[in-house]
Amino acid sequence: GENVEQHPSTLSVQEGDSAVIKCTYSDSASNYFPWYKQELGKRPQLIIDIRSNVGEKKDQRIAVTLNKTAKHFSLHITETQPEDSAVYFCAASRWGGSEKLVFGKGTKLTVNP
């Protein structure tokens, strides 16, 4: 079945450093890859997403890259701040997100002041 692998499971960085989280998906039909940020006890919130016809997308300090051939996509956060501390989930979906999201296991990011 569909599977999304996410690494690392935990990541600790110093404020101002960059953070990179990587995901690999198995379903070749996936064409939509969102990233969600979840603070403790709260709902997952979309922070950035990318379609399979785009290789890279950037929004201020956040960027996502996609390698369709390798079925690999990554989240890059630059100039990290303590408020970036949270659990980040990658996901994959068919039909531009109109079908179920298959989530990775999550990465707990800690940004130390």
Residues in the interface with other proteins (CB under 8 A) total 28
Distance CA 25, CA 32 (A): 11
Name 57's Cβ contacts closer than 8 Å, sequence gap at least 6: 48, 49, 50, 63, 64
69 binds other proteins (CB under 8 A): no
Give the nearer residue to other proteins in terms of CB position, either 76 or 94. Answer: 94
Return the SS3 of 58. strand
**Residue 34 binding other proteins, by CB under 8 A:** yes
Query: Which residues form the interface with other proteins (CB under 8 A)?
Result: 31-32, 34, 36, 41-46, 49, 51, 53, 89, 91, 94-106
